[in-house]
Every structure is written in C-alpha cells, then in structure tokens.
A and B are shown apart, each in its own frame.
Chain A
Amino acid sequence: MDLSKMPVVLYRASIERINSAHRAFNARDHVLAMFLAGLAVECVLQTLALRSGASRDPRHDLSAWLAKCPAALQAGIKRDVRADWSRLVALWDNGIRYLSHDGLLEYLRDKGASTGISGGPRAVVRQNGRLVLAAATEVHKKGLSQWLSNSTTS
C-alpha cells in the first residue's frame, strides 16, 4: 500500500464502515455494529491526523487520534457532539472485535453500562449498540465535514 494514499483510503473506508455498522445493527448483529461504528470513527480520525502530518500509530486509542487531528475538529467535537464523543470513548474499544455476544455483555457490565436497562441480556447489548452507533454516526459526520473543508466541492 502506498502510504501517501493512506488518508484517502481511510476516508473511503470510514464511509463504508459506518454504513456497514448500520446494516449490521438492522440485521440484529449488535456486537458487529458496535465494533464497526467505532472503527468508522477511528478511520476518519486517522485520515485527518495523517493528512495533518501525524505519524502512523498502531494503537487504537480514539482520544489519542483526536489529539493529532486539526484543532478545528477537536473544537467542533467538544462544542457540538461532546456527549456523543464521551459515550463513544467510554464504551468503544478495538478489542470488541474479539468478543462474542456474551463477552460483550460482560464487558458492558464491567463498565456499568447495563444499569437502568430493562429486559434481559440481549436488551443490554442492543441498547448499548444503539447508543454507540448513534454517537459514532454524529462524530463521524464531524470528521467528514472536516475532510470536506479541505477538499474541492461542486
């Protein structure tokens, strides 16, 4: 892979991942939806960080990637979608990709994210999947907007 093309490759992947996350949620694959939603945000943050000259980083730390993004994006996220960002950072982890439904349930319980959700285990995973997907969708839009602000439109 030509690294000079990495930002645009990641940008396109981010759109694909957020769309896939929604399709997975609608297909009731809530674990996959939750993982893909955060991955979409990671892709768009990496896109913007790399375009700004940041070096590649093998870690999957959303906050660390945001810190390498343009100040305008950092300010926009804090100003417009702060709650979504906080939820995403609190609940998403790259390791979700290794979790089964029961594994994710345990992970969510450990984070205290099952409190106040009525229904059984499936309801806990579904509700958290819904919240993470909604949060990631809003943060992802901010990333797309930042990307487009430096691109040509017609």
Chain B
Amino acid sequence: MALELHDKLIQRLRGNFKEVVDCLDDVEATGRVTGVIISPVFVGLDHEDRQTRLWSVLESGLTPEELENVGPIAALTPSEANVRAV
C-alpha cells in the first residue's frame, strides 16, 4: 500500500512542481509515507509557505484515506539538499 501511495504522491507533486527529487520513505511497519521532498519551487519560501505549497497539492490530489497515511514531510531546495532536481 505504501508503495502505491508513494508513487501517486510523487506523480501529483511532479504534475504540479515539475522538478522534484523523491526522498520519501515507505515505513513498512505502518504503511505510511514520510521523508523529504526536494524542489526548486521552495526557493525563497519560508517553512510555513513551503508546507502550505506542498500540502495544497497533496490535499487536492489524494483521498482522505490516502492523506491519513502521509506522514510529516520536509521541503528542501536543491541547494539546501546539495542535489540537482530532475
């Protein structure tokens, strides 16, 4: 279940943000998805605005049952994470 949700979540984010590096984890014991998303869309945004941007996409693209299984996500820019977005 976590893998399907993970894939759907990333699809939704890539559909909105275009450049996304997936650093999410599937928590086997609970079936939840949590971790880090890296994207240039977070450049210039503070913590609050990043979370608002992220969760607005997730809340419009996932069902309430699916959202129950999404855990905390940190939002980093490529330079903060020291990676290149794809």
Q: Tell whether B73 is near chain A: CB-to-CB under 8 Å.
A: yes
Give the docked Cα–Cα distance between A16 and B36 (Å): 11
Interface pair B71/A144, CB less than 8 Å apart? no
Known: A8-B25, A22-B47, A148-B23. A153 touches B83 (CB 8 A): yes
Q: Tell whether A12 is near chain B: CB-to-CB under 8 Å.
A: yes
User: Within 8 Å CB of A91, what residues of B?
Assistant: none
Option from B38, B72, B76, B80 in Cβ contact (under 8 Å) with A19 = B72
Q: Tell whether A141 is near chain B: CB-to-CB under 8 Å.
A: yes
Main secondary structure of the interface of A (DSSP, over half): helix
Q: Tell whether B40 is near chain A: CB-to-CB under 8 Å.
A: no
User: Within 8 Å CB of B76, what residues of A?
Assistant: 141, 144-145
Interface pair A16/B72, CB less than 8 Å apart? yes
How many B residues touch A, CB cutoff 8 Å? 21
Q: Tell whether B45 is near chain A: CB-to-CB under 8 Å.
A: no
Interface pair A145/B34, CB less than 8 Å apart? no
Option from B21, B47, B74 in Cβ contact (under 8 Å) with A144 = B74
Interface pair B35/A12, CB less than 8 Å apart? yes
Give the docked Cα–Cα distance between A9 and B35 (Å): 11
Q: Which residue from chain A places its CB closest to the CB of B34 in the assembled complex?
A: A12
User: Within 8 Å CB of B23, what residues of A?
Assistant: 148, 151, 153
Within 8 A of B (CB), among A135-154: 137, 140-141, 144-145, 148-149, 151, 153-154
Known: A151-B23, A153-B23. A141 touches B34 (CB 8 A): no
Q: Tell whether A18 is near chain B: CB-to-CB under 8 Å.
A: yes
Q: Tell whether A26 is near chain B: CB-to-CB under 8 Å.
A: yes
Interface pair A144/B48, CB less than 8 Å apart? no
Q: Tell whether B56 is near chain A: CB-to-CB under 8 Å.
A: no
Interface pair A12/B25, CB less than 8 Å apart? yes
Give the docked Cα–Cα distance between A22 and B83 (Å): 25
User: Within 8 Å CB of B47, what residues of A?
Assistant: 18, 22, 137
Query: CB within 8 Å of B: which residues of A?
Result: 8, 12, 15-16, 18-19, 22, 26, 137, 140-141, 144-145, 148-149, 151, 153-154
Can you show 14 pairs from A to B with CB atoms below 8 A apart? A12-B27, A12-B71, A15-B34, A15-B36, A22-B47, A141-B74, A141-B76, A141-B80, A144-B76, A145-B80, A148-B81, A153-B22, A153-B38, A154-B21
